[in-house]
Amino acid sequence: MEEEASRFDDDAFSPMVSLEMNVAMFKSQWQFCDEITEYFSDILGQGHSDPARYSNFLSVAANELIELAFRATDGRGKISFSLHRNATFNRLKIAFPRAEELSRQRTKPRSGDTPPALDGGSGDLVAKSDGTALLDNLTTIFGAAIRIENEGADGIEIVADFPSDEVFQ
């Protein structure tokens, strides 16, 4: 599934909605994670036979990714969220500046390299408490292709492609 979705470049997706805000504003209230998730999930549910069901399932995954971004950045710069759609996938993209602590750890970012991740400043993007990564769980449950990419020298982009069909495990 991941390879299939990853083959789609951004040109194959039609933009649906985007939101950009100051990171300091975003981090000022934890509830922004829930509000942004609800807004995007409602949009993703449009056009499905059971919009509430599809929105509810995807809100879980979207909320985890948005909260991951919340924990992974400090109070500088802009954070952007965008939704895109093609015939078979819905894409959620979250781009934000890497926390300064993480930027200092990476003196030479490599193109296509997975940046160090985030779990509240320890330097790990996805905490593995029981050997299972959050992103692996989301991928399995939702049939999503989720990847984390470098966005320039100081940025991170989370890209999640969710199948448009309504079959979740």
Alpha carbons 60 and 18: distance in angstroms, whole number: 19
pLDDT, tens digit, 9 for 90 and up, residues 64-89: 999 989 988 887 899 999 999 998 88
Bigger pLDDT: 16 vs 142: 16
Let me know: does 15 contact 82? Beta carbons within 8 Å: yes
Residue 157 · residue 94 · CB < 8 Å: yes
- Comparing 162 with 136, which gets the higher pLDDT? 162
Share of the chain above pLDDT 90, in %: 34
